[in-house]
C-alpha cells in the first residue's frame, strides 16, 4: 500500500487533476463528534474500506486513518468531520494510474446545530438509478441526491423520499428510511441503490434490544402508506421521526424514541 | 448571471469545498485542437450549456467561455483542452448554495498523440445505470466509466462495449458507437444512458453527405452482431473503425473512411 497524501480541508488545496474532481472517483464519510467522542468511527472506517474494495482503490491502513481522524477531531465537544478519499491525481482519461496515491482530505468543524427530532417528508419525482456495483457505498458521484435536494428546495418539507427508476423506495436525499409495522422495523434493501448509512447500521444492530425485529427488505410506496411509524436516520442527525409523509400525518414515535434510548442518542442528533 | 471563478488547471488549485469534488456536481468537456484550430467548439459549448440547464447551474455566457477557451488554447498546432465547470464551492450538504458561483478549470496541453484508426473491442460486464435526467450530458459522475475502464485494463482490447443494466447497448467507455447496415448508420439512443458526444453529433450531421441514412435507435447486442461495419467516435480520436468485436473480426471500413473524408478528419484523430 502506497502512502496516502493527506490534505487539511481548511488550508489545503486540491490538484485540478485529482480524479475525485475529474470523475467522482472516490468516497466520503461525514462523521459526528458528540460529547467529545468520534461517534461510530469503526462503522465509518469499515464502510470506507468496503467502498475502496468495490472501486479497487488502495485503502490506507485502518490504524493510520483512525489516527488522522482523531487528530483532526481535536478537542471539539460537538462537531463534524468530513473525510474525502479519492483515487488521487492522474493523467486525462478514465484509466486509473497504476500505482495511484490516494488523496485524503480531512475537515473538522465545531457544529453546534441541534437537529429537530421530527421531519415533514414529501415524495420526490427525482429518481435514483440502479447499479449493483455502486449501490450501498458512499462514493463521490452524488448528482442524483443533488437533483433531489434541488427539487426539495422548491417544496415545503424537511426531507424528500426517493425511489429508484423502477419505483422501489430507497430513502431520503441524505437519510436512510425505516418503517414500523407492529413489532417489526423494515428498512429498504440497498442492493441496487442508496447508501448504507452508519446510523442505519446502528439501528439494525440495536433493534432487538429495543424490542423490535429488524428486516431489510424491498419496500414500495404502498407499503409505506401502511406503516404505523416512520423514521429516518443519518450519522449527524441521529434518528428523526417522520411526522408527515406527503398528505398523511403520522403520530407514532415510540420506536424512534426507544431506539434513541438504546443507542444513547439524544433528541438533537 | 454571476461571474464564474476561472482557474488555470496548470498552476491553480481547487478549494476542497468545491462541489465538483464533493458530489461530482458539475460538467466537463474535452476539446481537440487540430491544425491550430479549436475543433467543434460550438458543439462543445452547446452541450455544456445543455448540461448546465439540466443541473440548474448558471452557465456563463457563450462569448465569455469562447474567449477563455481560445485564450487557453494558445498557439498549439495540435493539443487538448480540458474544461471542468462545477457549481462552485458550498457548505456541507447536498443543497446547492444560492446564489452559487461556478468554478471553471481550464487546462490546455500540446498533444502529439496520433490515434490508431482501428480498434479491437470487447463487451464488458460492467454496466451503465439508466437515469433520464443525467443521460446524455457530460457530468462529472463518471464512476461507471472508471469501473468499465478498470475491467478493460484486464483484457486484451482497445475499448470496451458497455450496455445498460437492462441490456441496451450504449457505447464504449469513452466513445460513441455506430453500426452500419447497408446504407444505414445506426447509433444508440442515449435517452437513458451514455454521453451525447460531439463527434457523434458531427457524424449524424455529415451522414447524408457521405451517402448514408443516419438513425438514432435502440440497439441490442444481437443487432450489433448483424452489422456490416462498426465504428466508434470521440472528440479526440475522431472516427475509429472496429476491427474486432469480441471474437468476431470485422473487415469493412468504408463508412468510417467516407465520414472522415466528409468531416475533414485525418486517420490519426
DSSP A148-160: HHHHHTTSSSSEE
Q: Which residues of B touch A30 (CB under 8 A)?
A: 92
Which of A94, A106, A108, A162 is the best residue to mutate to test the B interface, defined by the most B CB atoms within 10 Å of its own CB? Answer: A94
The minimum CA-CA distance between B85 and chain A, rounded to whole Å, is: 10
Strands in A94-158 per DSSP E: 103-110, 118-123
Q: Which residues of B touch A150 (CB under 8 A)?
A: 56, 96
Return the pLDDT at A168: 95
Q: Which distant-in-sequence residues (6+ apart) come within 8 Å of A20 by Cβ?
A: A14, A26, A84, A86, A87, A103, A140, B21
Chain-centroid distance of CA B264 in Å reads 19
Return the pLDDT at B30: 98
Q: What are phi and psi of A51, to 5 degrees?
A: -65, -45
Which of B17, B30, B139 lies nearest to residue A143, judging by beta carbons? B139
Which of B14, B96, B173 lies nearest to residue A21, judging by beta carbons? B14
What confidence tens digit (pLDDT) does each residue in A162-184 have? 999 999 999 999 999 999 999 99
Return the pLDDT at B113: 87
CA distance B89 to B94: 12
| Antiparallel, parallel or unpaired: β B176-181 and A5-8 | unpaired
Is A126 in contact with B142 (Cβ distance < 8 A)?
Answer: no
**A29 pLDDT above the threshold of 90:** yes
Q: Which residues of B touch A7 (CB under 8 A)?
A: 16
Query: Helix crossing, B198-206 with B41-55: angle to 10°?
Result: 120
Is A94 in contact with B146 (Cβ distance < 8 A)?
Answer: yes
Strands in chain B per DSSP E: 5-8, 26-34, 37-38, 79-86, 103-110, 118-123, 159-163, 169-172, 176-181, 184-188, 213-217, 229-234, 238-245, 248-249
Is A146 in contact with B55 (Cβ distance < 8 A)?
Answer: yes
The minimum CA-CA distance between B39 and chain A, rounded to whole Å, is: 18
CA distance B8 to B13: 8
Is B94 in contact with A142 (Cβ distance < 8 A)?
Answer: yes
Per-residue CA distances from B133 to A9, A83, A154, B130, B263 (Å):
31, 28, 18, 9, 31
Is A13 in contact with B13 (Cβ distance < 8 A)?
Answer: yes
Check: CB of residue B246 under 8 Å from CB of residue B122. yes
**A140 pLDDT above the threshold of 70:** yes
Q: Which residues of A touch B23 (CB under 8 A)?
A: 24, 140-143, 145-146
Is A139 in contact with B142 (Cβ distance < 8 A)?
Answer: no
Query: DSSP per residue over A162-226, as a string?
Result: EEBTT--EEEESS-EEEEEETTEEEEE--SSSSB--HHHHHHHHHTTTTT-EEEEE---HHHHHT
The minimum CA-CA distance between A210 and chain B, rounded to whole Å, is: 30
Chain-centroid distance of CA B168 in Å reads 19
Q: Which residues of B touch A22 (CB under 8 A)?
A: 28, 84, 140, 142
The sign of the CA dihedral A232, A233, A236, A238 is positive
Cis link prior to A246 (omega < 30° from 0)? Answer: no
Which of B82, B132, B141 lies nearest to residue A143, judging by beta carbons? B141
Q: Which residues of A touch B96 (CB under 8 A)?
A: 146, 149-150, 153
Question: Nine-digit cell at A12?
Answer: 489545503
Check: CB of residue A257 under 8 Å from CB of residue A206. no
User: What does each of the 269 residues of chain B score in pLDDT, given as a tens digit?
Assistant: 568 999 999 999 999 999 999 999 999 999 999 999 999 999 999 999 999 999 999 999 999 999 999 998 888 899 999 999 999 999 999 999 999 999 999 999 998 888 888 999 999 999 999 999 999 999 999 999 999 999 999 999 999 999 999 999 999 999 999 999 999 999 999 999 999 999 999 999 999 999 999 999 999 999 999 999 999 999 999 999 999 999 999 999 999 999 999 999 987 88
Is B92 in contact with A30 (Cβ distance < 8 A)?
Answer: yes
What confidence tens digit (pLDDT) does each residue in A65-75 have? 999 999 988 88
What confidence tens digit (pLDDT) does each residue in B25-43 have? 999 999 999 999 999 999 9
Is A23 in contact with B145 (Cβ distance < 8 A)?
Answer: yes
Locate cell 483515487: which residue? A87
Return the pLDDT at A2: 60
Q: Residue B107's closest chain A neighbor by CA? A: A16
Contacts 24+ apart (CB under 8 A), B171-175: B171/B195, B171/B232, B172/B121, B172/B232, B173/A94, B173/B124, B173/B145, B173/B148, B173/B149, B174/A93, B174/A94, B174/B145, B174/B149, B174/B234, B175/B232, B175/B233, B175/B234, B175/B237, B175/B240
Instruction: Report how many Cβ contacts below 8 Å link chain A to chain B.
Output: 171
What confidence tens digit (pLDDT) does each residue in A219-269 have? 999 999 999 999 999 999 999 999 999 999 999 999 999 999 999 998 788
Return the pLDDT at B1: 52
CA distance B147 to A43: 25
The minimum CA-CA distance between A122 and chain B, rounded to whole Å, is: 16
Chain-centroid distance of CA B120 in Å reads 19
Query: Helix, strand or coil for residue B81?
Result: strand
Is B130 in contact with A15 (Cβ distance < 8 A)?
Answer: no
Average pLDDT across chain A, whole number: 96
Buried b (16+ CB within 10 A) or exposed e, A82-119: bbbbbbbbbeebbbbeeebebbbbbbbbebeeebebbb
The minimum CA-CA distance between B193 and chain A, rounded to whole Å, is: 10
Is A130 in contact with B129 (Cβ distance < 8 A)?
Answer: yes
Question: Nine-digit cell at B31?
Answer: 476539446
Amino acid at each position: 500500500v502506497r502512502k496516502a497524501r493527506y490534505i487539511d480541508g481548511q488550508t489545503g488545496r486540491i490538484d485540478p487533476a485529482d480524479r475525485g474532481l475529474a470523475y467522482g472517483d472516490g468516497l466520503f464519510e461525514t462523521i459526528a463528534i458528540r460529547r467529545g467522542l468520534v461517534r461510530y468511527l469503526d462503522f465509518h472506517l469499515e464502510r470506507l474500506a468496503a467502498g475502496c474494495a468495490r472501486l479497487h482503490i488502495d485503502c490506507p491502513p485502518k490504524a493510520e486513518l483512525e489516527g488522522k481522524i482523531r487528530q483532526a477531531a481535536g478537542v471539539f465537544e460537538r462537531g463534524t468531520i468530513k473525510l474525502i478519499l479519492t483515487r488521487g491525481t492522474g493523467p486525462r482519461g478514465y484509466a486509473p494510474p497504476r500505482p495511484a496515491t490516494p488523496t485524503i482530505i480531512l475537515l473538522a468543524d465545531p457544529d453546534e446545530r441541534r437537529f429537530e427530532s421530527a421531519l415533514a417528508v414529501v415524495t420526490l419525482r427525482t429518481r435514483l438509478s440502479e447499479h449493483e456495483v455502486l449501490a450501498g457505498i458512499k462514493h463521490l458521484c452524488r448528482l442524483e441526491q443533488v437533483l433531489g435536494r434541488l427539487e426539495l428546495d422548491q417544496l415545503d418539507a424537511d426531507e424528500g423520499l426517493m425511489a429508484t427508476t423502477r419505483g422501489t423506495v430507497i430513502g431520503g436525499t441524505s437519510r436512510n428510511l425505516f418503517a414500523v409495522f407492529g413489532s417489526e422495523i423494515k428498512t429498504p434493501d440497498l442492493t441496487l441503490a442508496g447508501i448504507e448509512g452508519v446510523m442505519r447500521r446502528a439501528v439494525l444492530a440495536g433493534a432487538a434490544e429495543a424490542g423490535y425485529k429488524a428486516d431489510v427488505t424491498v419496500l414500495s410506496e404502498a407499503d409505506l402508506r401502511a406503516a404505523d411509524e416512520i423514521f429516518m436516520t443519518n450519522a449527524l442527525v441521529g434518528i428523526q421521526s417522520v411526522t408527515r409523509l406527503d398528505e398523511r400525518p403520522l403520530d407514532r414515535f415510540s420506536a424512534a424514541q426507544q431506539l434513541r434510548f438504546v443507542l444513547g442518542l439524544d433528541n438533537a442528533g
